[in-house]
């Protein structure tokens, strides 16, 4: 790519139609300075383009409603042997989202499930994917409320639209029958079309209890697990480790 073709690309990306169409005439008029002008315009449009991308990503991050901002760079892979860094970095290529596959993080509290889910979500916003983070409890409450207020189709459509939906903490709180039904409808709507990232502390065999219905639970799991990436994390809680270290240094 020459500096000129790069400049044309930048003008297109910034939608600067008038400047782009006038550019050849402008450079013809200033032939002896053309290379320096191209270079200067390139530098300026590069700056604007980077800022535009940053603003777009910030907007997507705001919409995503992450509970915190933590990235894969913040994750200490040496802390837990059961987490394969290469496997997670492969997920971070976002191939899974291109292929509309799901990710399920399974493990005890404090092992980093939410951190990894959020980190992948942030990575996705940087690549312009729409992302939304919700706890399972919040999601079910919103679906139940929408059902009561006769606007469930719209609400399901809303949650179905995100390229990546992160549903955090399945299994921490019980789910009522209507909530379980609506959850199933949402997962069915997204199945094969969008990616869902789940975190749970409950082994899949116990999901019948979580959803208060064995058949519904296996129908949900069928769809979620079809060609999904399952990351089982075992080991001690990162939270507890730091509590222990802090206590030691305080005492
Ligand atoms: N391997 C790790 N490296 C860095 N921070 C970690 C790691 N595992 C967990 N944490 C941190 O510990 C806290 C608990 O992790 P979290 O992802 O919320 O756990 P979980 O969702 O599995 O209960 C968070 O502040 C998280 O950033
Ligand atoms: Mg969590």
Domain region containing 35: 3-60
The per-residue pLDDT for range 119-146, each reduced to its tens digit, is: 999 999 999 999 999 999 999 999 999 9
Taking phi over 0 as left and psi of -120 to 50 as alpha, with beta for the rest, 65 belongs to: left
Are 42 and 100 part of one and the same domain?
no
pLDDT of 216 reads: 96
Question: Is the predicted pLDDT of residue 251 greater than 60, yes or no?
Answer: no
Pocket of ligand 1 contains residue 67 by CB under 6 Å:
no
Question: Is the predicted pLDDT of residue 221 greater than 90, yes or no?
Answer: yes
Q: Is residue 132 part of a domain?
A: yes
Domain count within the chain: 2
Separation between Cα atoms, residue 166 and residue 173, nearest integer Å = 17
Q: What is the mean pLDDT of residues 104-133?
A: 97
Task: Please calculate the CA angle 184-127-78 and round it to the nearest 5 degrees.
Answer: 80
Q: How many CB atoms lie within 10 A of CB 92?
A: 16
Question: Is the predicted pLDDT of residue 9 greater than 80, yes or no?
Answer: yes
Give the residue, out of 112, 242, 243, with the most ligand 1 atoms within 8 A of its beta carbon, to mutate for a pocket test.
112
Name the residue at shortest CA distance from atom 8 of ligand 1.
Answer: 112
Q: Which atom of ligand 1 is nearest to the CA of 80?
A: 1
What are the beta bridge partners of residue 170?
Answer: 200
Name the residue at shortest CA distance from atom 10 of ligand 1.
Answer: 112
The per-residue pLDDT for range 62-71, each reduced to its tens digit, is: 999 999 999 9
Are 8 and 132 part of one and the same domain?
no
Q: Is residue 75 part of a domain?
A: no
Q: Is residue 76 part of a domain?
A: no
pLDDT of 42 reads: 97
Instruction: Give the SS3 label for residue 170.
Output: strand
Q: How many CB atoms lie within 10 A of CB 115?
A: 20
Are 151 and 206 part of one and the same domain?
yes
Pocket of ligand 1 contains residue 70 by CB under 6 Å:
yes
Per-residue pLDDT band for 209 (boundaries 50, 70, 90) equals very high
Are 29 and 142 part of one and the same domain?
no
Q: Which residue, 60, 77, 78, is CA-closest to 69?
A: 60
Residues 61, 67, 72, 74: what is their CA dihedral angle, to the nearest 10 degrees?
120
Are 121 and 239 part of one and the same domain?
yes
pTM above 0.75, yes or no: yes
The per-residue pLDDT for range 167-192, each reduced to its tens digit, is: 999 999 989 999 999 999 999 999 99
Q: Is residue 236 part of a domain?
A: yes
Are 235 and 196 part of one and the same domain?
yes
């Amino acid at each position: 790519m020459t500096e000129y073709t790069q400049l044309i690309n930048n003008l297109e990306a910034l939608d600067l139609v008038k400047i782009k169409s006038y550019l050849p005439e402008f450079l013809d008029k200033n032939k002896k300075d053309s290379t320096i002008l191209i270079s200067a315009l390139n530098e300026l449009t590069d700056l604007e383009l980077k800022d535009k991308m940053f603003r777009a990503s910030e907007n997507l991050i705001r919409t995503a409603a992450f509970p915190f901002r933590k990235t894969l760079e913040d994750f200490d892979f040496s802390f837990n042997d059961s987490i394969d860094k290469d496997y997670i970095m492969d997920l971070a290529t976002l191939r899974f989202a291109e292929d509309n596959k799901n990710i399920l993080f399974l493990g005890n509290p404090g092992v980093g499930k939410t951190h990894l889910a959020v980190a992948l979500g942030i990575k996705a916003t940087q690549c312009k994917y729409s992302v939304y983070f919700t706890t399972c409890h919040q999601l079910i409450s919103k679906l139940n409320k929408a059902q009561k207020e006769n606007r469930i189709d719209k609400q399901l459509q809303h949650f179905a639209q995100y390229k990546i939906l992160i549903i955090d903490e399945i299994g921490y709180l019980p789910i009522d029958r209507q909530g379980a039904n609506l959850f199933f409808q949402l997962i069915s709507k997204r199945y094969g079309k969008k990616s869902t990232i789940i975190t749970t502390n409950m082994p899949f065999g116990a999901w019948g209890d979580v959803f208060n219905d064995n058949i519904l639970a296996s129908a949900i799991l069928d769809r979620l697990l079809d060609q999904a990436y399952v990351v089982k994390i075992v080991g001690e809680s990162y939270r507890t480790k730091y509590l222990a270290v802090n206590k030691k240094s305080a005492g």
